[in-house]
Structure 1
Amino acid sequence: MNVHEAKTRMSEPLARVEAGDEVVIARAGHPVATLVPIAVPAERSLGFVEGFQAPESFFDPLPDDELAAWDGR
């Protein structure tokens, strides 16, 4: 597909890409870009140790002295 056609009818190449196709965009007959579907990462669950649950205090703000240590102060 040439650049002018892609600009004029952008919804068509996007529909092809959404359907799983790759669309090559060319300028003066020379390929310059490829439109490809974005790979959506699989859903991941938090944590990797089965049965482990962080205590509620895990989500509490850190004390000022510990924050200072992380900041290098």
Structure 2
Amino acid sequence: MLKATIFEAKTNLSDLVKQAQRGETVVITSGRDKTPVARLEAIHPVKKKRLGVMETPGFVLSDAFFEPLPEAELKLWNGEDE
């Protein structure tokens, strides 16, 4: 759960909305004692789309990934003998 004062919420509203869309709850506080006065939550949180189980920063598919497979390998994928 994130906390932000009213001033911080006004200044960073778009960032707080993005965090709420990712599933975070943002509590907005007021006054010197930072009393909670409002809660910002997404109506429909956006689910992250990932490739595989782990996230790898900087992972890029090379152009070779999109090239056709060699004929011999295609036969193996199709269950044909060499």
TM normalised by structure 1 equals 0.51
Unaligned runs of 5+ in 2: 46-82
Which residue does 1:25 correspond to in 2?
28
On the 8 A contact 2:21/2:44 being kept in 1, the answer is: no
Q: Deviations over 1:22-46 (max 9, x none)?
A: 0000001000000011048xxxxxx
Q: Name the SS for the 1:5 alignment partner.
A: helix
- Paired residue for 2:42? 37
Q: Distance in 2 between matches of 1:13 and 1:39?
A: 15
User: Which whole-Å CA distance do the structure 1 matches of 2:17 and 2:38 have between them?
Assistant: 14
Return the alpha-carbon distance in structure 1 between the equivalents of residues 44 and 13 of structure 2.
20
Whether the 8 Å CA contact 2:28–2:37 is kept in 1: the answer is yes
Following superposition, the deviation at residue 9 of structure 1 comes to: 1.1
* Runs of 4+ residues over 3 Å off in structure 1: none
